[in-house]
Amino acid sequence: MFESPPFWMYLLGFVLLLGPLVTLHELGHLLVGRWFGVEAEAFSVGFGKEIAGFTDKRGTRWKLSALPLGGYVQFRGDMNPASVPDPHAPVEEGSFQAAALWKRALIVAAGPVTNLLLAILIFAGFFAIIGKPVIVGVEDSRTIGAFAEGSVAQAAGMEVGDVIVAIDRQPVRDFTELKTRVALHPGKRMIFTLEREGDRIDLPVTTASAERRDNFGNVSTEGLIGIAPAGGKYEIEKVGIFEAIPLGVKQSWDLTSMMITGIRQIVTGERSVKELGGPLKIAKYSGEQLSMGAAAFIHFAALISLNLAFINFLPIPALDGGHLMFYAAEAIRRKPVGPQATEWAYRTGIALVLMLMAVVTVNDIIALPIFGS
């Protein structure tokens, strides 16, 4: 177990994490907007009252605001920081609404795309510097070599020598993917497709549910079936930059798939809503990762950057994905959504975001040590 970092390290980690990620996200919007000739009235890191700022020669107010939970770019023609179109603003050259539909879509998408590209580049950098883990010394790592005591796989009828080729009809490439897929589904009935002496067998197995604690005492719940591969060991294989980039893309895709699975499980009740974390939990984890060194902190930043990209692409009004949803409707209808419908949609979206923030903040507070967690 590691000692908990001092309080100042949580604050420093939070600032060093969200500050650059939010700034890069908003810079994505701003730079693409300027590229297309759209004027920006304000660029803010944080929300609420301005703490410090300056106005550049283009008339854009750059500012640091009091609530460090995000940021925004307010373009000419926006009614507020949520980028709700101002129905009374004139549609003239330089305003956001005067830009072609495809340009507006690219400006909005540029923020989360910047976060996504950053995550890919960081993951690719780790692969290029460290290498990729591979299992060597075994022909097929999906082959079962042994069972743990009390293995649910053995109890369900799996045997040593069986090769697990699919889970829930989805192919499995290696033992690492098998382990990851099972870990995402604690206590769930899954169908394992096995190859045994030339035959294929579909075997239902209900995964066990286990609590894991990391070096700082953080608890997570994961599924397991109690198997080990038939021989082999992990080694690090060096890769070049041209191979590292596709590996970074693949890791980003795999992690995004895990996020989607986690959200679906929370919606369907398979996982508790208590597993959702907010700014306090991000501050906690960022301080812990910072205390472990630059490499751990940068890797964690890539995870959060990927989360920011994913969340902002959700089709919720007030988020980037909500704007893109309106643009899709505009493209189909060949005219913008009416101002009244737009206003109510954004009000609903903002209410949903605030409700989610309230839930995750309550979760964070309950998880504090003073409440016995």
Angle subtended at Cα 227 by Cα 168 and Cα 2, rounded to the nearest 5 degrees: 105
371 vs 367: CA distance, rounded Å: 7
What counts of helices (H) and strands (E) characterise the chain? 9, 12
Point out the catalytic residue in the list 3, 26, 159, 197.
26
254 vs 249: CA distance, rounded Å: 9
Strands (E), the chain: 40-55, 61-75, 132-136, 144-147, 163-167, 170-171, 189-196, 199-206, 208-213, 219-224, 227-229, 233-237
Structure tokens at 121: 């580049």
Segment holding 280, helix H or strand E? helix 279-291
Closest CA to 99 of 115, 114, 117, 83: 83
> CA 123, 124, 130, 136: dihedral to nearest 10 degrees?
100
104 vs 132: CA distance, rounded Å: 39
> CA 71, 76, 78, 82: dihedral to nearest 10 degrees?
-10
Structure tokens at 43: 């660029």
Centre a 10 Å sphere on the Cβ of residue 290 and count the other Cβ atoms it contains.
22
291 vs 9: CA distance, rounded Å: 7
How many angstroms separate the most distant Cα atoms in the chain? 75
162 vs 175: CA distance, rounded Å: 13
- Amino acid identity at 304: I
What separation in angstroms does the CA of 331 have from each of 3, 110, 326? 55, 19, 9
Reply yes or no on whether 26 is catalytic.
Answer: yes
- Amino acid identity at 216: F
- Amino acid identity at 175: F
Instruction: Give the active site residues.
Output: 26
